Amino acid sequence: MARLSDAFIDDLLARTDIVEIVGSRVQLKRKGREYAAPCPFHDERTPSFYVSPTKQFYHCFGCGAHGTAISFLMNYDRLEFLDAVEELARRAGIEVPRETRQNNQDSDLRDQYAALEAAAKLFQRQLADSARARDYLDGRGVDAGNRARFAIGYAADGFSTLKDALGTDERRLKLLDRTGMLSKNDRGHVYDKFRDRVMFPIHDRRGRVIAFGGRVLSAPADGKDAGPKYLNSPETALFHKGRELYGLWQARQANQKLERLIVVEGYMDVVALFQHGVTQAVATLGTATTPDHAELLFRNAPDVYFCFDGDAAGRRAAWRAVESALPRMKDGRQAFFLFLPEGEDPDSIVRKEGAAGFDARLAQATPLSQFFFEELGRDINHATLDGRARLAERARPLLAQLPDGAFADLMRQELQRRTGVDTARPASPAPRPPARGGAPAQRRSLVRSAIALLLQQPALSLQIERPYRFAGLRLPGMPLLLELLEAVVQRPGISTGALLERFAEHEQADALRRLAAQVLPGDEAGWAHELHDAVAQLERQTLQQRIDELQQKQRAQGLDETDKYEMRMLLQALAGRG
């Protein structure tokens, strides 16, 4: 990740209004000093998602999502850090400064995107020129609209069509190689990787081409070895197949809000479903469902349907999806499994039965909970005590991965119903975080309250006299408090959100965010008063700490004249502060 200076990030956030950024994507309602909405990151009816214009910070009291305008864009638009920064900078009309090295790296990536885009365009032109390839798509019922939507193309049959067209000099040739478009034989000869294939560009979350999938066009009867039926780009700097879903870009473009995503196996399945009006289909790219996939799926839609073949391989693949999904099954998220009849795929089904028929099958899909227990208890005799104990043993570590919530409770109850083993209580009950508003249940340390006040209103720091007389106090959190004070002194107008961004990689970052999210009672004058009190107490404790040290020395080795003088001054000062 590029290192942008703190000053730049501060400046960027100072010129950005988080309410505007969030408000253009989520409908916000004014609520006191803040804005509220049902959380875009988890499913809920009563709003627990708050955006604070004064703190320039959002926080969800339901799922704990939080952050600045930058992190909101990263999570909501699924942007990388730099892309989110660039987006905000563009809105604010400022330039993103970059170190030269980073600049070179970036321009190399830009060139790679451009090379892939040029390849996609070339393949589209070649499709227009190839009656065979067009016939294939006609035969599959893919109309012009969907050919354009998915930018489907054709890689001509030849070893250097792409290489000759786009690899016109050494630099471009290297670029094509880095994007995975070329292959090399044993003798070092370089040639087109994709030949005589229908080409499906794979787009990233911003609609940029990052890789290709190619489906072989020649029938094996042609007598030549056409290679694997489906061929994907290799992993490159731009393409990590475990993190990408084919069709997600198109699904997001086609739906204002995705209520569901349907995970299928192949590009043609995705395209065929779109062709029949099912515009929420995506495909993994020749891999099992990874945890990254599961995260990406649920970030985009609350309900996820996994389609698999009904055979043993399909069930194994489904189980991999279960394992990836379990830790992400927050309340409001649902996963279903649809097992297809032998010889069918989503493409064939939707062509035979239409969208309604496919939807009807989805409505009958197996919920994750049911599939989980069926699969886990497959070779177990539930009639015996041993069998039930074995089921409980297998289920427990998996259920432990579920996030706390109603779904986890129900799964544990279901296990208990099936086995008679009480697993309702997790091994170590996690303490619940205190409720909103901060009940006085847990008494805060002084340092913690000072930090909480500063996060509420960073400018209060400026009222504390420097140098800080409490700086030498050995208390947990003191170094952090001093760092925070220093950050505000350096940048007096800094908002809470920008301050948190500065401490984003601090080991206490989570604690800071939780404190910042609290809405402290009272107003600015009240907080200033509280902060002065806290500082005064810290100063007293500092005096006391030094007195204790001197008393220890007195007992151990006695005090010299300077020590005695210091002690008198300390006692006087302490008395004066009564």
Owner of token pair 């340092």: 447
- x/- string (CB under 5 A) for Zn ion, residues 63-102? x-x-------------------------------------
* Cα 92 to Cα 507: distance, rounded to the nearest angstrom: 31
Of 309, 311, 313, nearest in space to 338 by CA: 309
Decide whether 44 or 359 has the Cβ nearer to Zn ion: 44
If the CB atoms of residues 62 and 180 are measured against Zn ion, the closer one turns out to be 62
Smallest gap from Cβ 330 to Zn ion, in A, equals: 9
Candidate segments 62-70, 407-415, 434-442, 528-536, binder of Zn ion by CB under 5 A: 62-70
Total residues contacting Zn ion by CB under 5 A comes to: 7
- Give me the least distance between CB of 298 and Zn ion, in Å please: 12
Tokens of 251: 């699904």
- Residue 575 CA to chain centroid, in angstroms? 55
> Which pair of tokens denotes residue 139?
């035969």
366's enclosing H/E stretch is strand 366-367
Q: Which is nearer to Zn ion, 163 or 330 (CB)?
A: 330
Structure tokens at 563: 């020590």
Which residue number, 53 or 64, has a Cβ lying nearer to Zn ion?
64
Task: Transcribe 467-523 into DSSP letters.
Answer: S-TTTT---TTHHHHHHHHHHHHHSTT--HHHHHHHTTTSTTHHHHHHHHH---SS-
Of the two residues 62 and 214, which places its CB atom closer to Zn ion in the complex? 62
Q: Are 203 and 218 in contact (CB under 8 A)?
A: no
Structure tokens at 197: 């294939």
- If one asks whether residue 452 binds Zn ion (CB under 5 A), the answer comes out as no
> Nearest approach, Cβ of 521 to Zn ion (angstroms)?
24
466-505 residues near Zn ion, rule: CB under 5 A: none
Q: Which of 47, 62, 167, 314 binds Zn ion (CB under 5 A)?
A: 62
Nearest approach in angstroms of CB 82 to Zn ion is 25
In the complex with Zn ion, the residue whose CB is nearer, 23 or 354, is 23
Strand order through the sheet with 153-155: 153-155, 197-203, 209-216, 230-232
* Nearest approach, Cβ of residue 17 and Zn ion (Å): 21
Q: Judge contact between 456 and 500, C-beta under 8 A.
A: no
Pairwise CA distance, residues 43 & 501, whole Å: 26
- The phi, psi pair for 81, rounded to 5°, reads -50, -55
Our CB check for Zn ion shows the closer of 65 and 209 to be 65
| Stretch 21-40 residues interacting with Zn ion (CB under 5 A) | 39
CB of 66 to Zn ion, least distance (A): 9
- Nearest distance from C-beta of residue 30 to Zn ion, angstroms: 19
What is the CA angle 234-344-133, rounded to 5? Answer: 55
Structure tokens at 253: 């473009």
> Quick one: which segment of 59-67, 115-123, 137-145, 393-401 binds Zn ion (CB under 5 A)?
59-67
Instruction: Output the six-digit token pair for 44.
Output: 């809920």
Nearer to Zn ion, 63 or 152 (CB): 63
42 in contact with Zn ion (CB under 5 A) = yes
Tell me which amino acid residue 243 is.
R
The 10 Å Cβ neighbour count of residue 129 is 10
Cβ-based burial of 512 (10 A; exposed 0-12, middle 13-18, buried ≥19): buried
- Pick from 212, 272, 282, 210: which is nearest to 246 by CA? 282
Interface segment toward Zn ion; rule CB under 5 A; list 57-65, 159-167, 405-413, 475-483: 57-65
Q: Does 543 bind Zn ion (CB under 5 A)?
A: no
Task: Classify 15 as helix, strand or coil.
Answer: coil
195 interacts with Zn ion by CB under 5 A: no
Using CB under 5 A as the binding rule, whether residue 60 contacts Zn ion is answered as yes
Backbone angles phi, psi at 317, to 5 degrees: -65, -40
Site map for Zn ion, 120-139, x if CB under 5 A? --------------------
- Closest CB 128 distance from Zn ion, rounded Å: 47
Among 16, 18, 26, 41, binds Zn ion (CB under 5 A): 41
Q: How far is the CB of 254 from Zn ion (least distance, A)?
A: 25
Question: Which of 42, 241 has the CB closer to Zn ion?
Answer: 42
DSSP 210: E
C-beta of residue 30 within 8 angstroms of C-beta of residue 47: no
Minimum CB distance to Zn ion, residue 403 (Å): 12
The smaller minimum CB distance to Zn ion, of residues 15 and 25, is found at 25
Of the ranges 55-63, 164-172, 304-312, 426-434, which one interacts with Zn ion (CB under 5 A)?
55-63
Residue 227 or 302: the one with the smaller Cβ distance to Zn ion is: 302
**Residues forming the site for Zn ion (CB under 5 A):** 39, 41-42, 60, 62-63, 65
